[in-house]
Chain A
Amino acid sequence: MKKLLSIIIVLLIMFGASAYADSVRENLTKESTVEKILKRGYIKVGMSTFVPWAMQDKNGNLIGFEIDVAKRLAQDMGVKVEFIPTKWSGIIPALLTGKYDVIIGGMGITPERNKKVNFTIPYDYSGMSIVAHKKKAEGFNKLEDFNKNDVVIAVRIGTTAESAVKKYLPNAKLKLFDDESQAIQELLTGRVHAVVASAPMPAFQAIEHSDKLFLPFKETFTKEPIAFAIRKGDVDTLNYFNSWITIVESEGWLKERKDYWFNSKDWEKLLK
């Protein structure tokens, strides 16, 4: 009798546990961000201005590579897209407090950021490039030239440019700015030797101000995977975005958009 009872209890527990696991899975799916997006009919995308990833044209419309990516994603999901421009330094906290569903903002994957958010597979690769002042950095033509005590480098705060400078140019002094344009202004006035930022912005600036700035070397000195960032523990959403990236990647659509924004300057007329 005792034996039978214990068997029944064990069976009951097993049954209960499997039912519980089922309901957990069901709830996970029901509460995943993708489900919420589909239910409410729009996706909220957090981004920050980075030329030419995302910027506002003269009428205040958002344009750029990231904007194209987010719009296509929304179109494929069959929902509307809403952009929430955010200051770069607060972009992760705002994601975590639920101001938007996903960051599509040229965010490079770093172990540090990965502690707070989950990343999709990369949909783009970017690298750090350097633009220098003609007079102040005269004769500098390789990365080691900038790794000196008396060299000052301006970067945008909280970006991978900041960590790249700390890693590759540990001897140089850093000057941090909230926006890339402020860093460039600092370089144009000749108060810093160089600006480090994701390609192709430094190259664009070197062309724009060819009388004062130059590219010490053409190639980028880091390679960084760029991915969407979402809140942690949302497997369903992560899988959805990963699959989407795989699809548009194999279509060649990502490469085509990237060529338009990074290798041509056709879009510049939207700003002028």
Chain B
Amino acid sequence: MKKVSFKRIDILVLSILILIVFYIFYRINIYIDYHWQWHRVVDYIINKDEKGYHFGLLSKGLFYTLKLSMWSIIFSIILGFIFGTFRSFKRPFFRFGSLIYVELNRNIPPLILIFIFYFFISDQIFTLFEVEYFIRNLGKTAREIITIFFAPPNLISSFFAGVLALSVFESAYIAEIVKAGIESVDVGQKEAAKALGLSKYQILRYVTIPQASKVIIPPLSNQCISTIKDSSIVSVIAIPELTFQGMEMMSATYLSYETWITVTFFYFILTFSLSMLNKKIERTYTLNF
């Protein structure tokens, strides 16, 4: 890596940025005359009583955001790969089917998608299959496992509605990424594989995908970080994730600035650690080829 040297202009820009940050805090303190009460925030992250330590409202929200993003990322990658590969197929059924899927989901605001899933789909489908009833009648351990990995039974339908809406929304973008990756593989490669007598599936599995993944992985990891950030919009259907809990905390305590600075910091920790992890994956992956 080349050594980076600071030029005069860099120092100037940096000091202006620092000045702006200080000015904002100065305005909050002097002009708005805001009473900072940071000590109250600590209790909402972790607190202690005679029974021991408890996770506070915000930490619980953070766990929900983690669960929500994890499932959404998994499902959106699966869906994205399916529809992305469909687009490279010659059959019009697959090609146009996935085209419609991608364009429909890419051109609807995610907020609207969430309302559609919450009010229509989760209502109709979950009631039809009696998902909630089924989960409640499971054994205690099974219920606990579902609560840990997904959500408690009373929140399960809104949780799934949120996960589904997010997965569908993100998968449209992932499908585009996958399609671009597959298209990036030289036609000659496929023709050579065909000439060697490989089947359609074998070509996809051993020739196209390994080469395409090099192109796919960087934007894909970007999309995963996006999913975490986008998960904040499910707060509108009252899933107790980080943003919703932040709003709840603000309603109860009226600590607007402290709440949102803490929530911002939490999101940053999540996305930043994921982007560090992605860098590592990218590096090892590119070395292997």
A271 and B250 CA atoms in complex are apart in Å by 11
Contact of A44 among B34, B44, B154 (CB under 8 A): B154
Q: Is A182's beta carbon under 8 Å from chain B?
A: yes
A89 to chain B, nearest CB (A): 9
A60 to B246, CA, bound (A): 11
Asked if residues B123 and A184 are in contact (CB atoms below 8 Å), the reply is no
Min CB–CB distance B23 → chain A (angstroms): 16
Q: Does B54 contact A (CB under 8 A)?
A: yes
Which B residues are CB-close (under 8 A) to A27? none
Q: Does B103 contact A (CB under 8 A)?
A: no
Instruction: Tell me if B238 and A87 are in contact (CB < 8 A).
Output: yes
Q: Is the CB of B252 within 8 A of A55?
A: yes
Q: How far is the CA of A13 from the CA of B10 in the complex (A)?
A: 93
Closest to A93 in B: B119
A59 touches B57 (CB 8 A): yes
**Residues of A close to B240: CB separation below 8 A:** 60, 85
A60-B154 in contact given A49-B248, A85-B248 (Cβ < 8 Å): no
Docked-complex contact B32 and A272, CB < 8 angstroms? no
Q: Which residue of A lies closest to B55 (CB)?
A: A59
B264 interfacial by beta-carbon distance below 8 Å: no
Task: State which residues 32-60 of A face B: CB under 8 Å.
Answer: 40, 44, 49-51, 55-60
> What are the interface flags for A173-212 relative to B under an 8 Å C-beta threshold, 1 for contact and 0 otherwise?
0000011111011001110000000000000010010001
* A184 nearest CB neighbor, chain B only: B254
**Residue B249, interface by CB 8 Å:** yes
**From residue 110 to 130 of chain B, which have CB atoms closer than 8 A to chain A?**
119, 123, 127
Interface size for A (C-beta < 8 A) is 38
Q: Which residue of chain A has the shortest Cβ distance to B115 in the bound complex? A: A90
Partner pick for A49 among B127, B136, B251, CB 8 A cutoff: B251
What's the least CB distance linking B273 to chain A, in Å?
A: 24
Q: Given A188-B32, A272-B40, are A60 and B60 neighbors across the interface (CB < 8 Å)?
A: yes
Residue of A nearest to B249 (CB): A56
Contact flags (1/0) for B39-61 with A, using CB distance below 8 Å?
01001100100000011110010
Contact A98 B252 (CB under 8 A): no
Contact with B along A51-73 (1 / 0, CB 8 A): 10001111110000000000000
Q: Which residues of B contact A58 (CB under 8 A)?
A: 43-44, 47, 56-57
Q: Which residues of B contact A86 (CB under 8 A)?
A: 238
- The CA-CA distance from A49 to B248 in the complex, in Å, is 7
- B residues less than 8 Å from A82 (CB atoms): 154
Contact indicator per residue, chain A 74-107, by CB within 8 Å of chain B (1) or not (0): 0000000011111100100110011100000000
B154 near A51 with CB under 8 A, answer: no
Interchain CB contact under 8 A, B252 and A60: no
Q: Of A179, A190, A208, which contacts B250 at CB under 8 A?
A: A179
Contact partners of A189 in chain B: CB under 8 A: 32
A269 to chain B, nearest CB (A): 11
Asked whether B247 is an interface residue with its Cβ less than 8 Å from the other chain, the reply is: yes
What's the Cα separation between A87 and B119 when bound, in Å?
14
Contact A84 B252 (CB under 8 A): no
21 contacts between A and B (CB under 8 A): A49-B248, A56-B248, A58-B44, A59-B47, A60-B56, A60-B57, A85-B238, A87-B236, A87-B238, A93-B119, A98-B123, A179-B251, A181-B250, A181-B253, A181-B254, A184-B254, A185-B254, A185-B256, A189-B32, A205-B254, A271-B253
User: Which residues of chain B have a CB within 8 Å of any CB of chain A?
Assistant: 32-34, 40, 43-44, 47, 54-57, 60, 119, 123, 127, 133, 136, 154-155, 157-158, 236, 238, 240, 244-245, 247-254, 256
The 10 A-B residue pairs with the shortest CB-CB distance in the complex, in nearest-first order: A55-B252, A82-B154, A49-B251, A60-B57, A58-B43, A181-B250, A185-B256, A181-B254, A56-B248, A189-B32
